[in-house]
Amino acid sequence: MFSQLFAVRKKLDSKQRILVSILSFLVPLVVWSLISYVPFLWHPKVEITTPGDVSYFSEGMLIDREIFDTEVEVMITESKAIPDGLPANPIYLPAPHEVATALYTAFTTEPKRRNEKWLHESLWDSIQVIFWGFVISSIIAVPLGILAGTYDVFSRLFEPFIEFFRYLPAPAFGALAVAILGIHDAPKIAIIFIGTFFQQVLVVSNTTRKLDPSLLEAAMTLGARRLSLLFRVVIPGIITHLFKDLRILLGWAWTYLIVAELIGTSSGITWFITQQARYKNFENVYAAIIIIGIIGLTTDMILAQMGKKIFPWEKGAAKA
Amino acid sequence: MSQLELPSYLDQSEEVKDRFDRMKDRPVTLQVKNLQKEFDSPQGKVTALKDINFKTYKREFVCVIGPSGCGKSTLIRILAGLETPTSGEVLLDGKAVSAPGPDRGMVFQGYTLFPWLTVKKNVMFGLEMSGHGKTSSEEQALQWIDLVGLSKFANAYPHQLSGGMKQRVAIARALANQPRILLMDEPFGALDAQTRAKMQSYLHEIWKNIDVTILFITHDLDEAVYLADRVLVLKAHPGEVQEVIEVPVPQPRSPDQLLSPEFLATKRRLEELIHPKEEEAGINEDQLNMVRMVDVNNEVESVF
C-alpha cells in the first residue's frame, strides 16, 4: 500500500486519486480548524467575558494575553473583582464556521451606504474586467504568437521587444493607464492586458514551435502550401496545447486583478475586500478571497470539460 | 550461412532475366543525376552523398540499403524535395523537381498521421489540397481506405489504431494523390517482426495492383531482398552507390522463398557489401573488451 502510493510516476487508481484530491483540501482545513478550535494552540489573545474592576476592559474586548495576566495579578493584589476571559485568536483569523457563514451572509448583507455595491455586483464588475482584459489580449496575442512560432521573420520581429517588455511590471503602468484611459474600468482592463499579453505571445509562439516538424513535411509531400500549411496543419496541430495555455494564462490574468482594481477608483472584489477589512469584517474578507478561488477553479474545470468535447482526438493523443 | 553451397547472386533464371529485360524497356520514372549533398558541421564540410546516379523504371520496386550513416534518409528526403541537393538533379518523368509535391508520395517511419483528423479525413487531406471537392475526395478516400482494409476504422482517430494500421493509413494517404513514385523511409522500422512481415505482404499486394513506382529505404536485408526488383546498395562516408543488385528471386514473391537458394545468395552478397569482414576493414572498435565477471563458485559455471 505504502510503496504503491509513492511509486515514481505511476498513476494511482481512481479511488486513491479522489481520496488524495479531497485530502489536498482537507489538510489546510484541518490545520485551520485546529488553530481555531483548540484553545491551547496559539490563541495569543483573551476575549473578555467579565471585565471585573479593570477600568478599560469591556465585554467582548480582545486583549493580549500578557496584558490580561498582569491586570489579573494587579486585581488580585488590590483584592478587587478579577476579570475573566477565554483564549482567543486575533481578529484577522476568523474560525472556519464564521467564514462559512460569511460565504452566505456576505451576499445578503446590504451595503453600508446607498451608493455602495452588493458583493455580487462587485464580483460581476471584477469578472467583466478580467474577461475583457483577457479576451482583448488573446485576440491579439494568439495570432502574433502563432506567426512568431511559424515564421522566423516574425519571431525575430516580435520576440526581442516582447522579451524586454515582459520584464516591466504591469502595475508600473497604472498611473500612465489612468492618465490615458481615465479612472474607471478601462485602465484596469489595460493592466490585465499588459500583464497577460506579453507572456501570452511568448507562450503561444513556444507552443507553436513544439509542433512536430514531420507533420509539416508530411503535409508538404501531400501538396500543402503556405497558407494551407498554416491553417490546415499548424493551427489544428497546436490547438489543444493552445487551449491549455489559455487556461493557464487565464489564471495569470486573475493574479493581476487585485492590483488592477486598485488603480483609479477602487472597484470590484478588491473594493469589497478593502472595505470589509476597514470595518474589521475579516470573515467577509476571507469569504471574498475564497470566492475568487472558487470562480477560478470552476471556470478552469468547465473549460477542461469543454476541451474534451471540442477536441475528441485529445483523449489518448498524448500517448500516440 | 557461408558454409552453404549457394549459386551466384548474378545467376538469373530465364524467366527472371526476361522480366528484367522487359522492365528495362519501360519508361524511366525517376532519374537521379550526379547528386551531391554536403553539410556544414563543426568538424568542417561533410559529404553525405557523393555522385549518386541511378534510375527507376515505371512500376519498379527499388530498395535502398546501406550501413548507418550512408545518407539513405538524406537521399530520400532530397527526392521528396524536403532537402535541396548541393549539386546534381532529380528528374521525375524527365522533369526536374526541387520542392515537395503530390507527384512524389512519402511514407515516414514515424507514421506522421494528423492526430486531429480521422482516418478518412487524413486520407482526404492530399485530395483536398490538390483541389478535389469534398464529396469526390471523400468517395476516393473511402476507396483507398478499403484497399488497405481499414473501412471499419474510417471514422477512428489515429491514436486508436495500432502501429501497423497507422502505417496502412499513411500508405493510403500517400497513394490517394496517385503519385508517380511512392517514397518510403524505413516505413516498417518501428513495427514488431510479425506485423512487419504482414505489412510487407500487404505492400506487395498493393504494388501489384496499382500504377506506382516504389522506392523503399530499409536497413533490413531480408526486407530488401523480399520486396525489391533491384536493390541499390550504398556505402558510408561518403554515401556512394556501391552496387545495384538485380534480385534473382522470381516474382510474385511469397514467404516460402525466404529460404530459396537465390534469396540466400542475394542476402549473402548484401551481407558482404554492408558488413565487410573486419580484418579487411581494419576496424576493431566494436569489439567488446570482456573480462570474466562470473564468480568461480557460481551455480552455472559456464553457459555452454
CB contact under 8 A, B174 and A219: no
Q: How many angstroms separate the CA atoms of A26 and A11, rounded? A: 21
Q: Which of A210, A214, A222 has the highest number of chain B CBs within 10 A, making it the mutation to test binding with B?
A: A222
- Over 60: is that where the pLDDT of A316 sits? no
Show residues of chain B in contact with A316, CB under 8 Å: 159-160
Q: Please tell me the class of the A108-310 domain.
A: mainly alpha
User: Would you call B158 an interface residue with chain A, using a CB distance cutoff of 8 Å?
Assistant: yes
Nearest to B175 by CA among B240, B224, B225, B124: B124
CB contact under 8 A, A214 and B100: no
Quote the pLDDT of residue A1.
66
Enter the C-alpha cell of residue B280. 579487411
Show residues of chain B in contact with A221, CB under 8 Å: 80-82, 100-102, 104-106, 174, 183
Complex-level ipTM: 0.85
Residue with cell 487551449: A243
CA distance A190 to chain B (A): 36
CA distance B97 to chain A (A): 12
| Mean model confidence pLDDT for chain A | 90
CB contact under 8 A, A320 and B82: no
Q: How many angstroms separate the CA atoms of B174 and B108, rounded? A: 10
Residue B48 φ/ψ, nearest 5 degrees: -85, -40
Residues B37/B49, Cβ–Cβ less than 8 Å: yes
CB contact under 8 A, A223 and B102: yes
- Over 70: is that where the pLDDT of A208 sits? yes
A266 pLDDT tier (thresholds 50, 70, 90): confident
CB contact under 8 A, A215 and B130: no
Show residues of chain A in contact with B101, CB under 8 Å: 221, 223
Show residues of chain A in contact with B177, CB under 8 Å: 222-223
Strand B87-92 with A84-88, pairing: unpaired
Beta bridge partners of B31: B55, B91
Residues B227/B200, Cβ–Cβ less than 8 Å: yes
Nearest to B29 by CA among B185, B236, B213: B213
Quote the pLDDT of residue B182.
93
A318 pLDDT tier (thresholds 50, 70, 90): very low
Residue of A nearest to B81 (CA): A221
- Over 90: is that where the pLDDT of A188 sits? yes
Query: If you average pLDDT over residues A79-106, what whole number do you get?
Result: 90
Quote the pLDDT of residue A106.
85
- Over 90: is that where the pLDDT of A139 sits? yes
3-state class of A86 per DSSP?
strand
Enter the C-alpha cell of residue A195. 500583464
Top-confidence residue, A92 or B291: A92
Q: How many angstroms separate the CA atoms of A319 and A127, rounded? A: 36
Residue A180 φ/ψ, nearest 5 degrees: -85, -40
Q: How many angstroms separate the CA atoms of B98 and B90, rounded? A: 8
3-state SS track over chain B: CCCCCCCCCCCCCHHHHHHHHHHHCCCEEEEEEEEEEEEEECCEEEEEEEEEEEEEECCCEEEEECCCCCCHHHHHHHHHCCCCCCEEEEEECCEECCCCCCCEEEECCCCCCCCCCCHHHHHHHHHHHCCCCHHHHHHHHHHHHHHCCCHHHCCCCHHHCCHHHHHHHHHHHHHHCCCCEEEEECCCCCCCHHHHHHHHHHHHHHHHHCCCEEEEEECCHHHHHHHCCEEEEEECCCEEEEEEEECCCCCCCCHHHHHCHHHHHHHHHHHHHHCCCHHHHCCCCCCCCCCCCCCCCCCCCCCC
Q: Which of A211, A221, A225, A230 has the highest number of chain B CBs within 10 A, making it the mutation to test binding with B?
A: A221
* Angle subtended by helix axes A119-150 and A152-165, to nearest 10: 140
CB contact under 8 A, B159 and A317: yes
CA distance B274 to chain A (A): 29
Enter the C-alpha cell of residue B298. 557460481
Residue A64 φ/ψ, nearest 5 degrees: -55, 140
Q: How many angstroms separate the CA atoms of B235 and B76, rounded? A: 15
Quote the pLDDT of residue A320.
38
Residue A98 φ/ψ, nearest 5 degrees: -65, -45
CA distance A308 to chain B (A): 13
Enter the C-alpha cell of residue B14. 530465364
CA distance B190 to chain A (A): 13
| pTM, 2 dp | 0.83
Q: How many angstroms separate the CA atoms of B121 and B107, rounded? A: 17
Query: If you average pLDDT over residues A270-279, what whole number do you get?
Result: 89
CB contact under 8 A, B116 and A320: no
CB contact under 8 A, A222 and B108: no
CB contact under 8 A, A223 and B114: no
Show residues of chain B in contact with A218, CB under 8 Å: 106, 108, 112, 114
Q: How many angstroms separate the CA atoms of B43 and A287, rounded? A: 65
Quote the pLDDT of residue A18.
92
A202 pLDDT tier (thresholds 50, 70, 90): very high
Q: How many angstroms separate the CA atoms of A93 and A85, rounded? A: 18
Residue of B nearest to A319 (CA): B159
**B 88-127 residues inside an 8 A Cβ radius of A:** 99-102, 104-106, 108, 110, 112, 114-117, 125-126
Q: In what order do the strands lie in the sheet with A45-50?
A: A62-64, A45-50, A84-88
Show residues of chain A in contact with B106, CB under 8 Å: 217-218, 221
CA distance A307 to chain B (A): 13
Q: Which of A240-249, A251-260, B66-75 has the highest mean pLDDT?
A: A240-249
Quote the pLDDT of residue B68.
79
> Which of A212, A222, A317 is nearest residue B125 as measured by Cβ atoms?
A222
pLDDT of A287-300, one tens digit each?
999 999 999 999 99
Q: How many angstroms separate the CA atoms of A124 and B253, rounded? A: 74
Quote the pLDDT of residue A264.
80
Q: Which of B116, B125, B162 has the highest number of chain A CBs within 10 A, making it the mutation to test binding with A?
A: B116
Show residues of chain B in contact with A239, CB under 8 Å: 116
Q: Which of B112, B134, B137, B166 has the highest number of chain A CBs within 10 A, making it the mutation to test binding with A?
A: B112
| Residues in chain B, pLDDT under 50 | 1
Task: Name the residue ranges covered by the structural domains of chain A.
Answer: 2-37, 45-88, 108-310
Q: How many angstroms separate the CA atoms of A223 and B286, rounded? A: 44
